[in-house]
Homo-oligomer: A and B are copies of this chain.
Amino acid sequence: MATLIDNRYGKARVRVLKVNKNGDHHSVFDFDCCVLLKGDFSDTYYTGANDKVVATDSTKNTVYLLAQSEQFKSVEEFGVIVGKHFLATYSHVSEVQVTIKENVWDRMRVTYEQREHDHSFVRSRDVHTASIISVRGRPAQVTSGIEDLLIMKTTGSGFEGFYRDKYTTLKETKDRVFATMVTASWTYNTATNVNYVNAVAEFKKSVFDIFALTYSKSVQETLYIIAKTALERVKEIDEIKLSLPNKHAFGFDFTRFEGVKNNNTVFQPVEEPSGLIEGTIKRAASKL
């Protein structure tokens, strides 16, 4: 015999473009949405009886219907709406997991006007993520994050004094190129009245401020200070998870060529292998 001990199902990669129109001035939400349901669904696994199965096609329809009928100021709010809807509509659903990747569009700048354009946009590189877990009887748990934010500094970073043994060939350096693709996520300590858009913006600013203005003794140290700074700036966050791959750009080895010195200006970026540094930082309880 075999027992089903966990399951979830739904529709992934539902692509939604919602345009909010104020005359000719438009703003957009452009996101991919995955909605997974948990609940009383074991029958279809054991016997193929589908009478409780909400078709994933219906789940997709629902996402578009809610996107049109509901107002929301962030994809996090939309995820909460979707969770509430499924719990309210289907008594045999116990949990709704909504995962969202929001594409970021900047307003287009045109030559002949000093302002940004009303309804023309240029896609940015980084992605805004959101994850909303709605369990029956509990407040929704909202997580925000960013992905694919690729940043680089060409000085102001070193790596010295590390452990040396017979496996070590890396040289110490006070001046290296430091490039990383920031992935971060944080869960809010409340689901009430959070300005999610502001939280993401403040986190991103913390990344830029620390990355640019602080000498980096290790990727780890930079990771910690970024998280600490963001926790200070956003009160609705208690904990941040950060993943900073070290996207190496090594100085090319010019020593093999006669009469050629290394000016420390030409580097060879490599995709793999790649260092990977991760950490979770928590706001310490205030001492009382």
Contact = CB atoms under 8 A, between A and B. Distances in A.
Interface string A1-15: 111111111111111
Interface string A133-149: 00000000000000001
A136 to B, nearest CB: 18
Nearest to A287: B1
Contacts of A109: 208
A46 to B, nearest CB: 6
Contact of A155 (B26, B34, B266): B26
Given A57-B169, A65-B260, A212-B120, A273 B110 contact: no
B17 A153 contact: no
A55 B120 contact: no
Nearest to A2: B228
A195 interface: no
Contacts of A64: 252, 254, 266, 268
B36 A276 contact: yes
A1 to B, nearest CB: 4
A265 B64 CA distance: 10
B52 A111 contact: no
Interface in A263-288: 263, 265-284
A17 B252 CA distance: 10
Contact of A12 (B8, B151, B245, B279): B245
Contacts of A159: 50, 55
Given A266-B18, A268-B17, A151 B167 contact: no
A60 to B, nearest CB: 5
A211 B246 CA distance: 38
Contacts of A165: 58, 89
Contacts of A239: 5
Contacts of A245: 12
A84 interface: no
A223 to B, nearest CB: 7
Interface in A89-138: 89-90, 105, 108-112, 117, 119-125
A120 B160 contact: no
A49 interface: yes
Contact of A278 (B7, B50, B108, B162): B7
7 nearest A-B residue pairs (beta carbon): A48-B217, A13-B272, A120-B212, A1-B284, A123-B150, A48-B221, A125-B125
